[in-house]
């Protein structure tokens, strides 16, 4: 079993290709109940942004492993009253076995991890959403039987999900194409990081043309045009992103057997049409379910469950 004993997961790039592959294999074994693992540990959830899937899937995964969860809503802790991250981190370190954090700046997550000796998991920052992409890759593998050589096209905002998808696809030996409006491209440092991982063996393409990007793709993926924290920009973004919608028309450029993914929550009529998200090629509910299996595998591996 993949041994991530005590390690942090702050970025998907914290995993090697082999570790990623083994983690997905473990998640699949846990989902099929071919394997059952137990650990009597305590997970803290410190979320400064809203969450349905991540919060519930982490909680249920930990319960199913035999562990416990404490929901550390910042509004009911001293975090919202300005207790420094460094202090909160050193205190929580003394109580908990593992901590999942959802926040804004990646730097805050990194500061937390540097002060807490317990493993820290990125449950979404403005820069990355690695747990989401573990579930996405698991879903793609379930649909196609393998990952290597497949092409994933992401259409929309070059956000946290796009950043983690680039890293995840590169690690999995997949081609990744990101189509965004000008000025909304993914983080350039992460593009370069993904290209270094891909090492010219697979493609990491950034384009402004969604149709070229979608051509022949096995997976079409999108996410909201304005992420949490960007709500004030939503109205201005609307006209800019009009051509970056997954519709039946865009889907017709993809492979005939292509699947459609969305991390959810979705805005029907914006980044995806009702017909596509509810259509035969959509796999979004399996994708959401897989959050739980993938994070159970991650927790089990980090905590050394047996
Ligand atoms: N996809 C995802 O992370 O959903 P939540 O924001 O509901 O956790
Ligand atoms: N990019 C979105 C993902 C939500 C799961 C956000 O950060 O709001």
Pair 190, 261 in one domain: yes
Pair 120, 140 in one domain: no
Q: Which domain holds residue 49?
A: 12-128+292-303
For residue 22, being part of any structural domain is answered with yes
What is the CATH classification number for the domain harbouring 106?
3.40.50.1370
- Nearest atom within ligand 1 for CA of residue 288: 1
**What is the tally of structural domains in the chain?**
2
Pair 195, 84 in one domain: no
DSSP structure string for the chain:
----TT--BSSGGGS-HHHHHHHHHHHHHHHTTSS------EEEEEESS--SHHHHHHHHHHHHTT-EEEE--GGGSGGGGT--HHHHHHHHHHH-SEEEEE-S-HHHHHHHHHH--S-EEES--SS--HHHHHHHHHHHHHHHS--TT-EEEEES---HHHHHHHHHHHHHT-EEEEE--TT-PPPHHHHHHHHHHHTTTS-EEEES-HHHHHTT-SEEEE--SS-TT-GGGHHHHHHHTTT--B-HHHHTTS-TT-EEEE-S---BTTTB-HHHHTSTTB-HHHHHHHHHHHHHHHHHHHHT--
Pair 61, 101 in one domain: yes
Pair 151, 174 in one domain: yes
Pair 138, 108 in one domain: no
Pair 163, 205 in one domain: yes
For residue 154, being part of any structural domain is answered with yes
For residue 7, being part of any structural domain is answered with no
Active site residue 263: yes
Pair 217, 77 in one domain: no
Residues with CB under 6 A from ligand 1: 51-54, 124, 132, 263-264
Pair 86, 152 in one domain: no
Pocket test for ligand 1, best of 130, 263, 271 (most atoms within 8 A of CB): 263
Residues with CB under 6 A from ligand 2: 124, 159-161, 223-224, 227-228, 263
The predicted-structure confidence for 79-125, as pLDDT tens digits, reads as follows 999 999 999 999 999 999 999 999 999 999 999 999 999 999 999 99
Q: Is the pTM of this model over 0.85?
A: yes
The predicted-structure confidence for 245-276, as pLDDT tens digits, reads as follows 999 999 999 999 999 999 999 999 999 999 99
Pair 119, 148 in one domain: no
Catalytic residue among 262, 291, 293, 295: 291
Active site residue 8: no
Catalytic residue among 55, 129, 237, 262: 129
What was the pLDDT predicted at 52? 98
- Nearest atom within ligand 2 for CA of residue 126: 7
Pair 141, 191 in one domain: yes
What was the pLDDT predicted at 276? 98
Active site residue 291: yes
- Nearest atom within ligand 2 for CA of residue 54: 5
For residue 96, being part of any structural domain is answered with yes
Pair 150, 113 in one domain: no
């Amino acid at each position: 079993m993949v041994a991530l004993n005590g390690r942090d997961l702050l970025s998907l790039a914290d995993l090697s290709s082999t570790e990623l592959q083994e983690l997905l294999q473990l998640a699949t074994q846990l989902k099929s109940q071919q394997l059952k693992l137990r650990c009597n540990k305590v997970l803290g959830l410190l979320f400064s942004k809203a969450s349905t899937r991540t919060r519930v899937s982490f909680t249920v995964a930990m319960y199913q492993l035999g562990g416990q969860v404490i929901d550390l809503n910042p509004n009911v802790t001293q975090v919202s009253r300005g207790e420094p991250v460094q202090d909160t981190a050193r205190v929580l370190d003394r109580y908990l076995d593992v901590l999942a954090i959802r926040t804004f700046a990646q730097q805050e997550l990194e500061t937390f991890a540097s002060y807490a000796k317990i493993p820290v998991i990125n449950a979404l920052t403005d820069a990355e959403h690695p747990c989401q992409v573990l579930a996405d890759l698991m879903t793609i593998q379930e649909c196609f039987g393998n990952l290597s050589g497949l092409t994933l096209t992401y259409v929309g905002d070059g956000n946290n999900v796009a950043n983690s998808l680039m890293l995840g696809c590169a690690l999995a030996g997949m081609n990744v194409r990101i189509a965004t409006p000008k000025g909304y491209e993914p983080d350039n440092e992460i593009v370069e990081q993904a290209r270094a991982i891909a090492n010219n063996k697979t493609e990491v393409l950034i384009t402004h043309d969604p149709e070229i990007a979608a051509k022949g793709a096995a997976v079409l993926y999108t996410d909201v045009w304005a992420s949490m924290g960007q709500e004030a920009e939503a109205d201005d973004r609307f006209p800019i992103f009009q051509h970056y919608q997954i519709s039946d028309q865009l889907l017709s450029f993809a492979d005939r057997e292509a699947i459609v993914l969305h991390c959810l929550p979705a805005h029907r009529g914006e980044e995806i049409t009702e017909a596509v998200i509810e259509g035969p090629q959509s796999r979004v509910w399996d994708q959401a379910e897989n959050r739980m299996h993938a994070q159970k595998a991650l927790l089990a591996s980090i905590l050394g469950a047996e």
